[in-house]
Structure 1
Amino acid sequence: MSRTRVLLLNAALGPLDYRVPHGMTVEPGSIVVAPLGPRQLLGVVWEPERMPSDAEVGDNRLRPLLAAAPVPPLGDALRRLVEWTADYYLAPPAAVLRMCLSSTSALEGARSVTEYRATGQVPPRLTPQREQALERIADRQGLIRELATIAEVSDAVIRGLVKTGAIEAVEVDIDSPYPRPDPDHGAPTLSDDQRAVADILVANVDARAFQPTLLDGVTGSGKTEVYFEAVAEAIRQGRQTIVLLPEIALTEPFLKRFHDRFGCEPVAWHSGLRSTQRRRAWRAIASGEALVTVGARSALYLPYRDLGLIVVDEAHETSFKQEEGVHYHARDVAVMRGLFERCPVILASATPAIETRQQVELGRYAELKLPGRYGVAEMPTIEAIDLLSQPPERGRWLAPKLVAAIQDRMEKREQSLLYLNRRGYAPLTLCRNCGHRFQCPNCTAWMVEHRLVRRLACHHCGHVLPTPRACPECQAEESLVACGPGVERIADEVTALFPEAKVAVVTSDTIWSPAKAAEFVGRMEAGDIDIVVGTQLVTKGYHFPNLTLVGVVDADLGLEGGDLRAAERTFQQIRQVSGRAGRGTKPGHVYIQTHSPSAQVMQALVTGDSDAFYAAETEARRDAGAPPFGRYAAIIVSSEDQACAQETARLVGRSAPQVEGMMVYGPAPAPLAMLRGRHRFRLLVHARRALDVQDVIRDWLGTLDWSPKARVTVDVDPYSFL
C-alpha cells in the first residue's frame, strides 16, 4: 500500500499521512484534495523526512486521498522556500503554503466560457437599438453583459440578436495564452556606463548561478533600462523572470515602459486582479508560459517552472515588509528564492538600505553603480528652508520662498510637486469650545479628517464616520477645528494662492488602482496638471520631464516616533522625491522645509554627501547592536479583553529564558495600544547576530499555555514598532 505525507492548508494542523488510492499518482509537490473529518481540504504532498508528523497512524487507519489537481507539482526550490520562510519567520508552514496556492480556481483544470460576436448577418427586423448594437460591437467579442455595455443597450437586445443569428456564441478557453515578450523589440541606446553594468547582469543570467547584486544608481540613471537587458537575456533562454514593485500604483507606469521595450505587457500579479485574471496568471506561471511576471511581494511565492532572474525594484522600500499574516520581508525572501532556484537576484535602488550595504561590505552581494543621470539630465539642486527664520504666513504651511518658486514655475509652464507624507486634510480634529478630540473607537489613534469626501477616517482599521456639524461632547456648532496639515489642506492652500493652477492630489485614496495611476500619468504627460500634492506614493517610479520643482512641506515628519530607521527612512523618501525633479533637459530644484536644517540627515540631503550619512548611521547601529549588527524580534500579544492581553503578556515576559547575548524588554502597552478593537502589548527581543533567536523563541513560547482569547504573534526583523 502506498502512503504519503500531506501538508494541509490548515495552520492549526501539522502534516498528516494519507493513503494513495490505486490508479492515482502523486509525488512531492503534487497538489491534492484530502479528507479531514467531514471536510475536504487542499494540501501538498511533502517529503516525510523534511516534514515530521506528530501523529503516526497505522496503514490500516489511513484515509485515502480524494483527488490530485491537474496542475504541475510545486517545485523542489519552492518547497524549500516554504520551509525556510516558516522556520525563519516563525510562521506555520500551512500559512506560507497558502500564499503559493493563492488561486484555488487555477487548480480545477482547463475551463472555457461562452462569449459572443457578430456574424455579419443583418436581422430581418432591424430596430434602432439593434442597429446601434451591431454598429458599436463591430468585431468585438465578449460576454452578453460586456457587449450590452459596449453598445449601451440592454441585455435583452443582445439576446434578441443571438436568436436572429446576427450574433453567435463562441466557446473560449479562459486561460488564453499571453503574448510572448520580444527581447529585441525596442532595444535602447545605452550609455557606456549603462552598457558595462548591463553586460555584467546579462553574464550573470547566462551563468545560471545564484548571484545577488545591488544595482545602486541615482534617480534617473536608467536602472530599469539596464536590468531590462538581463530580463531580455532570460527571455531569449526561455526562462522566467520576477520583477517585484513596492506599490500597486507603480505597476501601470512600469507596464508602459515594459511594453515599449518588449512589445507587449508582462503578466501582472497584485491584489487588484479579478479571480479570473489570477487564475489565468497562476496557470501560465506554473506551466512556464508566463516569461515575465511583474507584481507585489506575494508574487515571490508563485510556482514558477523555470526561474532565471529575480529583480526587486526600489529594494529599500519598507512596504516590502509584510505586516499581516506571515511577517516576511520580500527583499530577503527574494534572495533566498534566488539561492534555492540557483538564479541571479538584482536589488535595484537609488537609496539602498543599510542592511543591503552591509551585505555588500561583507562580500556576500556584488555591487554595480550608476553614478550619473542618463543623457543630458542633471541631478537637481537641493536647498533647505529654515522654518524658524523663514516661517510661512500665519495660517499657512508653505514658506514664502517655496511659494515664489512655484509662481516662477507657473510662469514658465513647468510642473511642481509638493510632498507631504500625510493623507487627508488634517491629522487631528478637535473642538475649540471643550477640547474634545476625535479618536477611533477601535484603535489608539486620532481620526483623520478627509474634507474631499466629508469623512473622519482611521488609517489603521478603516473606521469612518461623517464629519459632524456639532461637537458630540458639548453640542457646540461650528466649533470643530482642524489641527496640522494633510495633503488636502496643502492642496487647498495651493488653490487659494494659485487659483488658475490645475492641482492634483495623489495619495492611496485617489490612486487606488493601476488604471487610476495610468490616468494620472496621462494627465501629467499631457500638461493637464500644474501642481501635484502627494504622499510617498509619488516619490518613486515616475518620470515627468517637465517637472522641475519639488517642495518637501514637512521634512521633519518622518523623524518623529523614535523608530530606529527614522533617519534612514527620511533620507530615502526625501532623496527619492527629490529625484522626480529635473529628469529632462530642464534643471530641477528642490526645497526642503525643516525646523532642523543643521540635523545630520538634512545636511546629507543638501550637500548630497550620502556616504557620510550612511557611515554615521551604520556606526550608530553598530554601537547599539541594532540590525544588521544585531537581531530584533517583536512579540505582540493581543486580545479583545484588555485584562486577558495584559495577563498573557506578563506570562510571556515572566517565562523569558536567560540566554547569553539576548535581552527581553517589556511587556509594555504597544504605541498603538488598541488596534481594530484588540488591546495590544509588546515585548522586544534584542539578540546578538550569531544567536539563533528563532530557536530560542520557538522553545520559549512552545512551553506556554495561554487563554484562547489571546493571540500571540512574532515579528522577526520588525520594521514597524507600533
Structure 2
Amino acid sequence: MTGSGKTEVYFEAVAQALRHEGGQVLVMLPEIALTSQWLDRFEARFGARPVEWHSDLSPAERRRAWHGVASGSARIVVGARSALFLPFRDLRLLVVDEEHDPSFKQEEGVLYNARDMAVVRARFEACPIVLSTATPALETLLNARDGRYGHLVLAARHGAAQLPTISAIDLRSTPPETGDWLAPPLAKAISQTLAEGEQALLFLNRRGYAPLTLCRACGVRLECPHCTAWLVEHRYKRQVQCHHCGFSMPADPDCASCGGTDSMVACGPGVERVAEEVMRRWPQARLDVMTSDTITSPAKTRELVARIEAGAADIIVGTQIITKGYHFPKLTLVGVVDADLGLRGGDLRAGERCWQQMVQVAGRAGRAERAGHVFLQTYDPTHPVTRALIEGDREAFLTREIEERERAGMPPFGRLAGVILSGPDLDAVSAAGKALARAAPMQPGISVYGPAPAPLARLRGQHRHRLLIQTARKQPIQTIVQNWISQVKLPSSVRLRIDVDPYSFL
C-alpha cells in the first residue's frame, strides 16, 4: 500500500545488516531522480549519507565509489541498475525498491532485468533480499504464492493517513471545454484545493507539448526521418523531437511540404500543453512541471522536490517520474488527465502496468493528515482497471489478471523470448526473418509467431522485424532459442538480438 512506511521497514533490515563488522548493503532504485529524497530520509535515519552509483556521476566520483565498494569502506550504496555489478566485499543485504518498475529492465545493449539479477546475486552472496513495492509485479506475486519468496503485507497507511478517494470523470458525458484538456469537475476541484491552501498534481504520461504536429492545409504529419515515429513538439525548447532516436529540429509554424503559412497545428496534449492551460486558468498559482525534460540532474531534482515539500508550488504537472515514491505532505488532489493512455496497444502487461501506475500516482495524495482525492479522466469508466481503482479492489483485479495470463500461458505462467532482426536493407531483414521462421522449432508446447515488421518498424535508420517464441514455464527457453537460431546463417548486414522475458514489444 502506498504511504504504508515500507522504506522505514526495510531501513530496520539495513540497520541490522550494518551491525555486522564490514557488512555492506545495496539499495537499488528505478530512477536517479528518486535518490535525492531517499538520501535525505536515509541521512535523517542513520546520520550519514550512503555512496551513490548512477550514470550522472563524474568519472572521478565513479572511481571513488568503485574503490570504496571494493575496499569495503563504502558500507551502503544506493544506485540504479548498474550498481548491481559493483565489487562488494561483504554484501549482507540487497533491497530493490519499487521492484515492479519497468525501468529495472535494461532495453539497450545487454538486455537484462536488474530485479531478477538482484535475486540471483543475493543467492550467490547468500544474503537476504527485500523486494519492496505497493504494487507488486505478477511474477513476484506468483513467486510469493508458490512459497519461493516470503510475503509481508503492510495493510494500512502510516499513522493517521488514509487512502484517497478515487472518482472517474466520464469524458463522453462531461467533456472539457473546446481547447481545454481538464473537464469541469476536475477544474472545480483544483480551484477548491487552491482555495484551501493545498497542492494539486496533474498527471499525464506524455512528454512535450503535443504528440503530433500536422499541416491543416495538406495534412502532412511531422515524422522522424530515422524512425517510424511522429515528432513531438517541445514548446519550451521551440523544437520538435523524436523520443526514440533523439533527432530534433526547430519548430516551424509554416509547412515545409506545401508551403502553407502558419498552417502547422499541434494535436493532442502533452504535459507542456496541460501546464499552459493551468497558467491560463489559474494565473496566480505557482506551477512546477516535473518531467525528464525539466529534471536533468540530481541537483535539479533535489531543488524541485524541496520546493514542493516546502509548499512553494501550488500545482504540479508531471509524467511518470512523479509517481515514484515521493512524499508531499500538502498534496491532496491528483488529476489524471488521460487515464486510458496506458491501456492502448497490444502489450500483455498493459492492464497490470496501468493499474500499477494509477495506484502509484494516486498514492501521492493524502499522505499526511489531510484527506486525498483522485479524479480519473476517462472515456471508458467501466474498464476493469478503472473499476478496480475506483472500488479499491486490488485482489479482484490481480486475480483476474492472473487467471487471464494462466489461461493464455503467458508470463508468469509461460515464457516468452523476442527475436529482433534489424539492418539497413529492408529486403535482407525480411528474408532473414522468413529463414528463421522456416527453421522454427516444431515440438509440442512451443509456439513461434512472426516474422512481422516491428511496431517501431524503423529505428535510427535500421529496419526492424520481430519474431516471438512462447514456451511452457519450465521449458529451457534459452537453450531452445539458441538451438533454433544456430540453424540459420544470417547475412553480416542483419543484426539479431534476443530478448528473453521481454517487457517491451516495440
TM-score range, shorter chain: over 0.9
CA deviations 1:675-711 (Å, max 9, x no partner) are: 1111000000011112111111111212322111110
- Quick check: 2:439–2:487 contact (8 Å CA) kept in 1? no
In structure 2, how many angstroms separate the alpha carbons of the residues matched to 1:543 and 1:442?
40
CA deviations 1:429-480 (Å, max 9, x no partner) are: 0000000100001100000000111010000010000001310100111101
Alignment of 1:511-530 (within 5 A): 511-530=295-314
Q: List runs of 5+ in structure 2 lacking aligned partners.
A: none
CA deviations 1:131-163 (Å, max 9, x no partner) are: xxxxxxxxxxxxxxxxxxxxxxxxxxxxxxxxx
Aligned to 1:425: 209
**Alignment partner of 2:152: what SS?**
strand
Counterpart amino acid of residue 438 in structure 1: L
Identity between Structure 1 and Structure 2 (%): 58
Within the alignment, does 1:686 sit opposite 2:470 as a pair?
Answer: yes
| Candidates 220, 223, 227, aligned match of 2:10 | 227
Aligned to 2:356: 572
How big is the shift at 1:644?
Answer: 1.6
- Quick check: 2:332–2:370 contact (8 Å CA) kept in 1? yes
In structure 2, how many angstroms separate the alpha carbons of the residues matched to 1:303 and 1:642?
43
Aligned to 1:406: 190
How big is the shift at 1:278?
Answer: 0.5
Within the alignment, does 1:593 sit opposite 2:377 as a pair?
Answer: yes
Q: List runs of 5+ in structure 1 lacking aligned partners.
A: 1-217
CA deviations 1:407-434 (Å, max 9, x no partner) are: 0011111100000000000000000000
Within the alignment, does 1:448 sit opposite 2:232 as a pair?
Answer: yes
Aligned to 1:240: 24
- Quick check: 1:377–1:585 contact (8 Å CA) kept in 2? yes
- Look at both structures and tell me which one has the larger radius of gyration over its CA atoms: 1
In structure 2, how many angstroms separate the alpha carbons of the residues matched to 1:669 and 1:696?
23
**Alignment partner of 2:210: what SS?**
coil
Alignment of 1:21-170 (within 5 A): none
In structure 1, how many angstroms separate the alpha carbons of the residues matched to 2:439 and 2:71?
49
Aligned to 1:502: 286
Task: Give 4+ residue runs of structure 1 displaced > 3 Å after superposition.
Answer: none
In structure 2, how many angstroms separate the alpha carbons of the residues matched to 1:604 and 1:666?
34
Within the alignment, does 1:474 sit opposite 2:258 as a pair?
Answer: yes
| Candidates 364, 369, 372, aligned match of 2:148 | 364
In structure 2, how many angstroms separate the alpha carbons of the residues matched to 1:544 and 1:690?
44
In structure 1, how many angstroms separate the alpha carbons of the residues matched to 2:6 and 2:254?
53
Counterpart amino acid of residue 53 in structure 2: W
Counterpart amino acid of residue 638 in structure 1: S
How big is the shift at 1:325?
Answer: 1.3
**TM-score, structure 1 as length reference:** 0.69
- Quick check: 1:417–1:534 contact (8 Å CA) kept in 2? yes
How big is the shift at 1:316?
Answer: 0.5
Alignment of 1:140-539 (within 5 A): 218-237=1-20, 238-539=22-323
How big is the shift at 1:306?
Answer: 0.7
Aligned to 1:713: 497
How big is the shift at 1:659?
Answer: 2.2
How big is the shift at 1:594?
Answer: 0.7
Aligned to 1:13: none
Aligned to 1:674: 458
Q: When the two structures are aligned, how many residues end up with a matched partner?
A: 505
Aligned to 1:632: 416
How big is the shift at 1:513?
Answer: 1.4
Aligned to 1:210: none
**Alignment partner of 2:371: what SS?**
coil
In structure 1, how many angstroms separate the alpha carbons of the residues matched to 2:6 and 2:310?
25
How big is the shift at 1:485?
Answer: 0.3
In structure 2, how many angstroms separate the alpha carbons of the residues matched to 1:590 and 1:359?
32
In structure 2, how many angstroms separate the alpha carbons of the residues matched to 1:581 and 1:405?
13
- Quick check: 1:253–1:541 contact (8 Å CA) kept in 2? no
Aligned to 1:162: none
CA deviations 1:599-642 (Å, max 9, x no partner) are: 11101001110000000000000000000100000000000121
- Quick check: 2:413–2:472 contact (8 Å CA) kept in 1? yes
Counterpart amino acid of residue 232 in structure 1: A
In structure 1, how many angstroms separate the alpha carbons of the residues matched to 2:324 and 2:164?
15
In structure 2, how many angstroms separate the alpha carbons of the residues matched to 1:251 and 1:675?
31
Give the number of the structure with larger relative contact order, counting CA–CA contacts within 8 Å between residues 6 or more apart.
2
In structure 2, how many angstroms separate the alpha carbons of the residues matched to 1:300 and 1:703?
35
How big is the shift at 1:525?
Answer: 2.0
In structure 2, how many angstroms separate the alpha carbons of the residues matched to 1:366 and 1:673?
42
- Quick check: 1:378–1:587 contact (8 Å CA) kept in 2? yes
**Alignment partner of 1:634: what SS?**
strand
In structure 1, how many angstroms separate the alpha carbons of the residues matched to 2:346 and 2:488?
31
Counterpart amino acid of residue 300 in structure 2: K
In structure 2, how many angstroms separate the alpha carbons of the residues matched to 1:526 and 1:658?
62
How big is the shift at 1:390?
Answer: 1.0
In structure 1, how many angstroms separate the alpha carbons of the residues matched to 2:310 and 2:393?
35
Counterpart amino acid of residue 502 in structure 1: R
In structure 2, how many angstroms separate the alpha carbons of the residues matched to 1:549 and 1:700?
53
CA deviations 1:150-209 (Å, max 9, x no partner) are: xxxxxxxxxxxxxxxxxxxxxxxxxxxxxxxxxxxxxxxxxxxxxxxxxxxxxxxxxxxx
In structure 2, how many angstroms separate the alpha carbons of the residues matched to 1:621 and 1:593?
28
In structure 1, how many angstroms separate the alpha carbons of the residues matched to 2:251 and 2:314?
30
- Quick check: 2:423–2:462 contact (8 Å CA) kept in 1? yes
How big is the shift at 1:657?
Answer: 2.0
In structure 1, how many angstroms separate the alpha carbons of the residues matched to 2:13 and 2:101?
22
How big is the shift at 1:264?
Answer: 1.4
In structure 2, how many angstroms separate the alpha carbons of the residues matched to 1:674 and 1:371?
46
Counterpart amino acid of residue 660 in structure 1: P
In structure 2, how many angstroms separate the alpha carbons of the residues matched to 1:541 and 1:316?
12
In structure 1, how many angstroms separate the alpha carbons of the residues matched to 2:236 and 2:220?
23
In structure 2, how many angstroms separate the alpha carbons of the residues matched to 1:653 and 1:519?
53
| Candidates 365, 371, 381, aligned match of 1:581 | 365
In structure 2, how many angstroms separate the alpha carbons of the residues matched to 1:351 and 1:706?
42
Aligned to 1:34: none
Counterpart amino acid of residue 423 in structure 2: S
Counterpart amino acid of residue 205 in structure 2: N
